[in-house]
Copies of this chain bind each other. A is one copy, B any other.
């Protein structure tokens, strides 16, 4: 058998291994330290190394993005040596950072072949008007509009009284040489919305910027975008300040219905957005006046709260959204810190629980570019699911409850510093290893940590398929309390609070109900369109929560359908990316409208097959084990 030489940058000596050896085997042979928290299962992504040169074969690329692979990353535990190889072992912090930041570099965000001239939603044209004279008595606006018709084929310019008031002095102070900024993102037939008229000389020195805003229930994300090039100048996220008034959309709606709750929630989310805009401006040196458009995405409740529209009916049967298709709005009416004559484009939603975050997500996911059947999921408080292809789209929302966001779970918490986000359990000792966000003493367990924990408990036999804790196991970590059995994830001595972090039987029941609701949603949706769920050729996972899910473990517990790992792709925050595309590109904006109007919405609570599907999914991974062959195989 051929032998190859493996060189690690951290090690002076080359290591000879037989063809077909794994990189971790080479490392072990040479005494090179590579961490493998998941025990070499290719699940944690912590053993990622960078191949500098040489031939390797990646057996699995789970936890690696396309950009990672292009950059040469490979999982040491899953990578087969097929030639002489040079390998760089990155320091652990670097891996940590790679795993937790959005992988997409700002410049990589600009769509391929993006041509502002062709598709820009916001345009700024410079017009040299012929000054009026005694022989040419056209009024100021008529003069402007005639030039605009000639130069830019705009036949109808919509303008506010406030804007009408400003023109005369600008024309005369600029020697009739002006820059006119307008939006045509949602208009057809040569209609435009006026944003701004300014002296051409002033415009030359000024940026033309926009905001892509994703208003999440938990996190608000703002991108500051250079509209002339499409470049993302700043990306920022903050907790939605509304959190202090309720963790999930339901409690927010209830809060909004009382007294001036709606006003308070509106102010809080505006404060969150405006803090981010201020940070963007101060970081980039851009003036808020140069920000002329904001495209806003978010779930239906967040959109209504941001715009001050009473959201009560979203919560009450039959769960009706006041408005899915909002008109283009004035910045001054919305309250975002930007040019007050700027425009705000709230993206369209489909239903009370399938909002603009999903239509934007479908756009960003590129789901519609392929005829392949694709499942797009965005799991947060609710699991929103889209099944479709270039030909058709169907969607539903599963009210999973907030268990995966850490609520309803004794030691649950949001994915914040101190949260256990991944757990591995030794099948012999039942001792856990875990990864904590921020590498600090753990404070609790976040959603991805809970999925990971339940999966590991199930795989190692701590849980049976009904979700019961096996109290006969020889480990002190399984114990019985007044409220039932529990498993100790971290001993008091290791935790921030000095108390044990545990998962209880009640927690597990809540998590099973949440995952069952989502999986049942997949099933009803697939049945509704007449396909087998497992025949989906691609699974795209959006949302910031999704980014941290370990696919294998999510399949292990029956949250995700049992589809080969390589068919899954993590897309990160597709909502803000969709907003960004719709901000830049008229065609993308038209497509999002098309997505919203063509998507068939299935209301699960009106579907009488849902309850049965839900009940069947309350087991680990499912009553019908034949639907989870890979899990069945792992259990034997």
Q: Which residues of B contact A168 (CB under 8 A)?
A: 309-310, 312-313, 322
Chain A 338-351 near chain B by CB (<8 Å), digits 1 or 0: 00000000000001
Cα distance A308–B160 when bound, in Å?
A: 12
Q: Is the CB of A307 within 8 A of B351?
A: no
Any chain B CB within 8 A of the CB of A491?
no
Chain A 137-161 near chain B by CB (<8 Å), digits 1 or 0: 1111110000000000000001111
Q: Is the CB of A318 within 8 A of B161?
A: no
Any chain B CB within 8 A of the CB of A319?
yes
A112 CB, nearest partner CB in chain B, Å: 34
Q: Is the CB of B165 within 8 A of A308?
A: yes
- The listed residue (B164, B172, B326, B334) touching A309 by CB distance below 8 A is B164
- The listed residue (B137, B317, B334) touching A601 by CB distance below 8 A is B137
Cα distance A136–B352 when bound, in Å?
A: 12
Cα distance A320–B133 when bound, in Å?
A: 8
Q: Is the CB of B137 within 8 A of A351?
A: yes
Q: Is the CB of B320 within 8 A of A603?
A: no
Q: Which residues of B contact A327 (CB under 8 A)?
A: 158-159, 164
Q: Is the CB of B137 within 8 A of A319?
A: yes
A597 CB, nearest partner CB in chain B, Å: 10
- The listed residue (B307, B325, B606) touching A142 by CB distance below 8 A is B325
Any chain B CB within 8 A of the CB of A169?
yes
Q: Is the CB of B134 within 8 A of A329?
A: no
Q: Smallest CB-CB separation from A165: which chain B residue?
A: B309
Q: Which residues of B contact A334 (CB under 8 A)?
A: 161
Cα distance A307–B166 when bound, in Å?
A: 12
Q: Which residues of B contact A139 (CB under 8 A)?
A: 320-325, 351
Q: Is the CB of A169 within 8 A of B310?
A: yes
Q: Is the CB of B603 within 8 A of A137?
A: yes
Any chain B CB within 8 A of the CB of A333?
yes
Any chain B CB within 8 A of the CB of A167?
yes
Cα distance A132–B605 when bound, in Å?
A: 14
Any chain B CB within 8 A of the CB of A135?
yes
Chain A 100-143 near chain B by CB (<8 Å), digits 1 or 0: 00000000000000000000000000000000111111111110
Cα distance A324–B168 when bound, in Å?
A: 13
- The listed residue (B140, B310, B313, B321) touching A323 by CB distance below 8 A is B140
Q: Which residues of B contact A134 (CB under 8 A)?
A: 317-319, 603, 605-606
- The listed residue (B158, B161, B318) touching A333 by CB distance below 8 A is B161
Q: Smallest CB-CB separation from A145: which chain B residue?
A: B325
Q: Smallest CB-CB separation from A354: which chain B residue?
A: B137
- The listed residue (B160, B321, B603) touching A140 by CB distance below 8 A is B321
- The listed residue (B133, B310, B351, B605) touching A165 by CB distance below 8 A is B310
Q: Is the CB of A161 within 8 A of B324?
A: no
Q: Which residues of B contact A319 (CB under 8 A)?
A: 134, 137
A481 CB, nearest partner CB in chain B, Å: 41
Q: Is the CB of B323 within 8 A of A141?
A: yes
Q: Which residues of B contact A322 (CB under 8 A)?
A: 139-141, 164, 167-168
Within 348-362 of A, Cβ neighbours of B (below 8 Å) are at 351-352
Q: Smallest CB-CB separation from A309: which chain B residue?
A: B165
Cα distance A366–B326 when bound, in Å?
A: 43
Q: Is the CB of B164 within 8 A of A320?
A: no
Cα distance A142–B352 when bound, in Å?
A: 13
Q: Which residues of B contact A603 (CB under 8 A)?
A: 134-135, 137
Q: Is the CB of B132 within 8 A of A320?
A: yes
A592 CB, nearest partner CB in chain B, Å: 16
Cα distance A324–B137 when bound, in Å?
A: 11
A151 CB, nearest partner CB in chain B, Å: 20
Q: Smallest CB-CB separation from A158: which chain B residue?
A: B327
A319 CB, nearest partner CB in chain B, Å: 7
Cα distance A329–B159 when bound, in Å?
A: 10
Q: Is the CB of A161 within 8 A of B307?
A: yes
Q: Which residues of B contact A313 (CB under 8 A)?
A: 140, 168, 172
- The listed residue (B132, B172, B323, B606) touching A164 by CB distance below 8 A is B323
A37 CB, nearest partner CB in chain B, Å: 45
Cα distance A228–B135 when bound, in Å?
A: 45
Q: Which residues of B contact A326 (CB under 8 A)?
A: 164
Within 531-570 of A, Cβ neighbours of B (below 8 Å) are at none
Cα distance A323–B323 when bound, in Å?
A: 35
Q: Which residues of B contact A164 (CB under 8 A)?
A: 307, 309, 322-323, 326-327
Cα distance A178–B351 when bound, in Å?
A: 23
Cα distance A324–B139 when bound, in Å?
A: 6
Q: Which residues of B contact A137 (CB under 8 A)?
A: 318-320, 351-352, 601, 603
Sample of 8 A–B contacts (CB below 8 Å)? A133-B318, A139-B323, A139-B325, A141-B325, A161-B334, A164-B326, A164-B327, A165-B308
Chain A residues close to B by CB (< 8 Å): 132-142, 158-162, 164-165, 167-169, 172, 307-310, 312-313, 317-327, 329, 333-334, 351-352, 601, 603, 605-606
Sample of 11 further A-B pairs with CB below 8 A, known A142-B323, A142-B324: A132-B320, A134-B603, A136-B318, A137-B320, A137-B351, A139-B322, A141-B322, A142-B325, A158-B327, A164-B309, A165-B309
The 8 closest A-B pairs by CB, nearest first: A134-B606, A139-B321, A168-B322, A141-B323, A139-B324, A132-B320, A140-B322, A134-B318
